[in-house]
Amino acid sequence: MAYLFPPMDDEPPPDFIAFVAERLAGLQREAARLAGGARDADALAMDVLTDLAVHWRRLRWEGWLRGHDVLGPYLAHRLEVRTKQWREEQIYPVEVTVLPSSSEAVLDWYRPPPPPAAGEAEDAGSRAVAVTVAQRLADLLPTTVRDEVGVVAEAEIAWVHAYRRYVWWRYTRAGIGVVLLFGYLIHFMSAASSVA
């Protein structure tokens, strides 16, 4: 079947995973700051990532057409909206201490961190002193720690939530279309029977 707009994929695209990998740490820090602690920050960050995943294709096209990044400002806007909703849902007042800082520093969290300089990475490797045979062999063995697994899991979960939302909206649009079609048919039949 040909689509004017192709349906949403059920798996996240690699560029979404790469975007989440760049911005997840900053998003979680800012969510923890706005929520007053890390307890609710994970759920808040997940809601923001889900909102981003729902509009991912549209935002990518909009960024391409405008020629600049629209994903970062959208992420900041959705975090602001979700934080406001979260605060309104709280039973007790939320105490948040805002530290004085420049407005540029506050809005700087959604930009990706700069890559480390080449000299810094080499200096960190040359300062490590191997003491045992195991430590000397550790550089030759692949690591069992996978930092990117947490990022991929966060991206996958956000994408699955967005895909479920997309499917429900699709069913809702189809249901509304069927109701409108039946309404039109009933109106047409009653108008046709009154003429005859």
Give tens-digit pLDDT for 107-163: 555 556 666 666 555 555 555 554 566 666 666 666 655 556 778 888 888 888 888
87 within domain boundaries: yes
118 within domain boundaries: no
Query: Which residue range is the domain that position 96 belongs to?
Result: 14-112+150-162
Whole-number average pLDDT of the chain: 78
**Residue % of the chain over a pLDDT of 70:** 68
Count of domains in the chain?
1
Close Cβ partners of 96 (under 8 Å, ≥ 6 residues apart): 33, 34, 35, 36
Cα separation, 56 vs 78, in Å, equals 13
Give the pLDDT of residue 108.
Answer: 56
90 within domain boundaries: yes
Residue 176 has pLDDT above 50, yes or no: yes
125 within domain boundaries: no
Average pLDDT over residues 71-96: 84
96 within domain boundaries: yes
Give the closest residue to 28 by CA, choosing from 19, 17, 40, 18: 40
One-letter amino acid at 189 equals M
74 within domain boundaries: yes
Give the pLDDT of residue 148.
Answer: 62
